[in-house]
């Protein structure tokens, strides 16, 4: 702003100097005309007239140039103002466009993030779908296999209850021989771990061996799967056989507490158990 004012003042001074020069030229021309008049010579009059006309022409040219300079300066100033206004508008537009671009970049980032999340979720769902289909196929195959197993067990006098199949022998033998027979059938002597299994075993109303023994440590009764007895159904005053009776059986099947300890060499029926559902 300060440079602009200095420039305008400089222009005004230059214009004043130009007008002063024009005035001096006209005055000089006038003096020459007067000088010619006073000499009285014809030649001098012609020269003076010519010089006067030339001075007038020169003065007119100077005035024209001065007016043209003022007009050009005014036009340049106006153009400069317009350019400043256009620059300001362009800067505002650039600022707005920059803000719009930044906003669009944010929206793009959000859209890309959402797209990635949706893609990841789709991939997870696709993976879950394939896994579920595999599980359904496997379960269907297991069901078919289980049905075949149940059909085969039913044909061989096995009973099914709570995920296990049970076989009660039609002959009698020792506890060790009974267990070998169960193992040959891919089973083992029955393990009783809850009231439902105890009730199920009693319903056969058979005096029979179960998978219970203290052969390893006297007085420490374990099941054939090596687990300790946690819930027992011993008949009152049982077990009572000390070292002579180390194998368990179901004897008093008319009572919930039907277990009895017996000499393992005694020949009894037995019950085998095979897990068909893990």
- Of 69, 102, 135, which closes a domain? 102
Is 133 a domain residue?
no
Task: Write a three-state SS string for the chain.
Answer: CHHHHHHHHHHHHHHHHHHHHHHHHHHHHHHHHHHHHHHCCHHHHHHHHHHHHHHHHHHHHHHHHHHHHHHHHHHHHHHHHHHHHHHHHHHHHHHHHHHHHHHHHHHHHHHHHHHHHHHHHHHHHHHHHHHHHHHHHHHHHHHHHHHHHHHHHHHCCEEEECCEEEEECCCCECHHHHHHHHHHCCCEECCCCCHHHHHHHHCCCCCEEEEEECCCCCCCCEECCCCECCCCCECCCCCCCHHHCCEEEECCCCCCCCEEEECCCCCEEEEEEEECCC
Kindly state whether residues 187 and 257 are assigned to the same domain: yes
- Of 64, 84, 102, which closes a domain? 102
pLDDT mean over 40-62 = 86
pLDDT level of residue 242 (50, 70, 90 thresholds): low
Kindly state whether residues 154 and 249 are assigned to the same domain: yes
Kindly state whether residues 185 and 243 are assigned to the same domain: yes
Count of domains for the chain: 2
Q: Report pLDDT for 277.
A: 73
pLDDT mean over 93-122 = 91
Res 36 pLDDT > 50: no
Higher pLDDT, 268 or 60: 268
> What percent of the chain lies above the pLDDT cut of 90?
51
pLDDT in tens, 127-165: 999 999 999 998 888 777 776 776 666 657 898 888 899
Q: What's the CATH number where 198 sits?
A: 3.10.100.10
Kindly state whether residues 97 and 179 are assigned to the same domain: no
Kindly state whether residues 66 and 169 are assigned to the same domain: no
Domain that residue 270 falls in = 149-275
Is 131 a domain residue?
no
Is 228 a domain residue?
yes
Is 130 a domain residue?
no
Res 22 pLDDT > 70: no
């Amino acid at each position: 702003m300060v440079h602009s004012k200095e420039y305008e003042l400089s222009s005004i001074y230059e214009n004043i100097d130009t007008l002063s020069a024009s005035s001096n030229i006209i005055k000089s021309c006038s003096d020459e005309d007067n000088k010619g008049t006073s000499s009285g010579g014809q030649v001098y009059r012609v020269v003076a007239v010519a010089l006067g006309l030339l001075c007038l022409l020169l003065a007119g040219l100077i005035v024209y140039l001065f007016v043209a300079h003022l007009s050009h300066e005014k036009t340049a100033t106006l153009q400069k103002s317009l350019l400043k206004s256009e620059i300001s508008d362009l800067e505002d537009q650039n600022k707005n466009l920059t803000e719009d671009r930044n906003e669009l970049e944010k929206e793009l980032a959000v859209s890309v993030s959402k797209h990635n999340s949706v893609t990841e979720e789709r991939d997870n769902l696709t993976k879950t779908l394939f896994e579920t289909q595999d599980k359904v196929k496997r379960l269907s195959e297991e069901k078919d296999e289980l049905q075949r197993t149940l059909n085969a067990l039913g044909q061989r006098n096995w009973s099914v209850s709570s995920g296990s199949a049970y076989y009660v022998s039609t002959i009698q033998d020792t506890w060790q021989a009974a267990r070998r027979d169960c193992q040959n059938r891919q089973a083992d002597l029955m393990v009783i771990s809850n009231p439902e299994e105890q009730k199920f075993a009693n319903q056969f109303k058979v005096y029979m061996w179960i998978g219970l023994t203290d052969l390893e440590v006297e007085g420490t009764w374990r099941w054939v799967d090596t687990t300790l007895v946690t819930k027992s159904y011993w008949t009152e005053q049982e077990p009572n056989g000390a070292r002579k009776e180390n194998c368990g059986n179901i004897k008093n099947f008319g009572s919930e507490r039907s277990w009895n300890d017996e000499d393992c060499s005694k020949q009894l029926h037995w019950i085998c158990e095979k897990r068909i559902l893990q």
